[in-house]
Amino acid sequence: MSDKDVLISSQNGVGHIVLNRPKALNALSHKMVLDMLEAMKAWQGDPDIHAVLIEGAGDRAFCAGGDIQAVYENGRTDHDGVMQFWRDEYELNALIENYTKPYVAMMHGFIMGGGVGVSAHGSHRIVTDNSIISMPETGIGFLPDVGGTYLLSRAPGGLGYFYGLTGGRMTADDAIYCGFADYYVPEDKFNALKEAILAGGDVDELIKAHAATPPEGDARWHHTQIADWFDGKSFDEAMAAIEADESEFAQKALKVLKRQCPLSVKSTFRAINDAKNMDSIEPCLGQEFRYADASLYEFNFYEGIRAAIIEKDRNPQWVPATLDQVTEQMVDAMFKPLGDKELKLK
């Protein structure tokens, strides 16, 4: 296989994208995003292309996120360059959401953060037995971006809050139930479906022929309980409901929530709330872009990446240290308007 980080080709009327950094779990670099944008814009207007299929190289991951180590290394010294990466990435997310041709995402293995952004906005999202989908950003001092707040705000009941705030992992069934995927294809049929689509067959008919019912996941099982925690509640009311729930599931969730970055948790709650009133992905990406800009000037994002990726001590020292120390003014500051530097997608 080529040593390029993203392989772009077309065959039998299908545009084919392969994320090709398997050793890095196919993490997205800026160059990969730009190459994908260029190809997809060209295919959009090409009458010979009737569908696009995206996959990740290797067995472990479709895409485990953006290249946050590069953001860590450059964020303090090249603010505009890092923000340009996010501009281009978010443009790609919006393009996928609004694409006029079938966009088939073969979502195997880990699909996290930026990987969600280039899969879960597609028209045909295929998960399988080893699929693990999550938006773990509150654990690194960030918030679910790449249109994550758009998807989370549309999950049934309180599930979007649960998965967004805790960074919890979704199985194939969870992802379908929460609106992050459409179809489950068993692992022994997964590659056969991909090859059939690349051979130029009808996307909908082929998926229908290969799809099955996935094993039931936690989301369906705990949906009513999670809805009781979050539905129609303020952040403080939701936390009180979880604390009052003595079940093992609730206490485990509470422990996770108190371990994540407090400012990120409260900001994510705000962003999901606001996204519920947004009728398209673009304004959701706009508020995420504001948060990204603020994060580059803020302590927690660098501290979270340090603890998780750089030094790997898994012991971030958040500021503020606890949820009750995070004020509404602190959250407001993370979404402050950017004037002429706002994200403009339409």
137 is catalytic: yes
Catalytic residue, candidates 15, 56, 113, 114: 114
- Name the strand (E) or helix (H) holding 56: strand 51-56
CB 106 within 8 A of CB 194: yes
Give 212's strand partners.
Answer: 184
Q: 89, 97, 145, 303: which one is catalytic?
A: 145
Beta bridge partners of 98: none
Q: Is the separation of the CB atoms in 316 and 248 below 8 Å?
A: no
Q: Which residues of 155-168 are buried (b: 16+ CB within 10 A; e: fewer)?
A: bebbbbbbbbbbbb
Q: Alpha-carbon distance 117 to 67, whole Å?
A: 13
Catalytic residue among 15, 56, 65, 66: 66
109 belongs to the catalytic site: no
Cα maximum dimension of the chain: 58
At 231, list the tokens.
């539905």
Catalytic site residue 145? yes
Token code pair at residue 254: 């509470």
Three-class SS state of 122: coil
- Map residue 53 onto helix, strand or coil: strand
CA atoms of 232 and 106, how far apart (whole Å): 35
* Cα–Cα–Cα angle for 134, 118, 140, rounded to 5 degrees: 40
Copy the structure tokens of residue 238: 């939701």
Angle in degrees, 0-180, between the axes of helices 235-244 and 248-259, rounded to the nearest 10:
140
Token readout for 337 is 């308007």
Close Cβ partners of 162 (under 8 Å, ≥ 6 residues apart):
168, 226, 229, 230, 253
Kindly report the number of other CB atoms within 10 A of residue 209's CB atom.
14
Q: Are 219 and 181 in contact (CB under 8 A)?
A: no
- Could you confirm whether 66 is annotated as catalytic? yes
Q: Residues 5, 91, 137, 218: which is the catalytic one? A: 137
Instruction: Indicate which residues carry an active-site annotation.
Output: 66, 114, 137, 145
